[in-house]
Amino acid sequence: MLSKSVLAASLAAAAIVLSVAGPARAMVCMDTSMTLDEVVDAISAQKSCESAMKVFKDCELTASGDVQLGAAVEKKCEADFKPGLSAAQTQAYKREMHACDIKYRNKSGTMYLSFTAFCRAEVAQRYSERALKAGQKAR
């Protein structure tokens, strides 16, 4: 009896180790199998905030992985407007981002992390659109 329980425990431990130590998970994005890091690189390589957001939407996971994708979109979009913001505009931007952060804070599940990431990326995209429309930075 003892040997069966030891064997079962050993197999369970091995399964956990193998599942954690496995290769990076791939997803199909833009008709290509890509890792999360490759999608982040694809977002970063886009020429505009708009196209970065399109890749984010096309490759979304609706899970915690979207946090990394959304952060890449934020960074791409912020390049269009952040250097030109006044102190008051910077505070307004931070307030809008904070509103995204607290919107789902009492919810459980990784999809809410995704919703937060999309909210933040959409805020950055709106600021980028306004800045480009105003001619602050031509791309």
pLDDT in tens, 54-73: 999 999 999 999 999 999 99
pTM: 0.78
Element (H, E) at 33: strand 32-35
Mean of pLDDT values over 1-21? 43
* Least confident among 1-10, 28-37, 69-78: 1-10
Compute the distance between CA of residue 121 and CA of residue 115 in angstroms, rounded to an integer. Answer: 10
For residues 81 and 9, which has the higher predicted lDDT (pLDDT)? Answer: 81
Nearest-angstrom CA–CA distance, 74 and 46: 12
Percentage of the chain lying above the pLDDT 90 cut: 73
If you average pLDDT over every residue of the chain, what do you get? 85
